[in-house]
Amino acid sequence: MKMLTKKYSYFFLLTFFTIASVSCNKALTKQDVEDQIKEAREETEEAQEEVREAIELREQFYEDDRETRISELEGRSKDIDKRIGDLKKTSRKVNEAAQSDIESAIEELEDEKEDINEKLQTARSITKEDWTTSYEEINEAIARIEAEIDRVEESISEN
């Protein structure tokens, strides 16, 4: 086994020296070194430019994504306004005993809706990096209001 390892070691060394001697036939000049340095600098500058472009694209993506999500939340918020308006109209038609409770629920919905409007305004002014938490809060608040409106609508339809 040692003999085999020794043979491979000699073979490896012989191959290494053969390759080294063939590749070293040309003398390395100062100009060659300067050319290699210049080429390395150019490649580094290109890589840095690509990194800058990638960062700009990422920033634009975050901005576009944020704008899209905020617009989606604002659309849902407008739908809530419409549904609250519809609830007000419908609540006038229910019996007087239930009307007081329904009007109270509608007032609470309007208060919660105002909170959402304030959060949306805040979300527009928050930096791109920090706004996702705000988005999640607003999204959850809108979902809660939508569920509450569904319950009030169901209550109205029962009366």
What integer pLDDT is reported at residue 122 of this predicted model?
86
120: tokens are: 């949306």
* CA 17 – CA 39 distance, rounded (Å): 28
What integer pLDDT is reported at residue 61 of this predicted model?
86
* CA 17 – CA 36 distance, rounded (Å): 24
| Tens of pLDDT, residues 116-128 | 999 888 888 877 6
Length of the chain: 159
Please state, as a whole number, how many other Cβ atoms lie within 10 Å of the Cβ of residue 59: 12
What integer pLDDT is reported at residue 142 of this predicted model?
92
What integer pLDDT is reported at residue 4 of this predicted model?
44
| Tens of pLDDT, residues 74-87 | 999 999 999 999 98
| Tens of pLDDT, residues 20-52 | 555 555 677 888 888 888 898 888 888 889 989
Q: What is the mean pLDDT of the chain?
A: 81
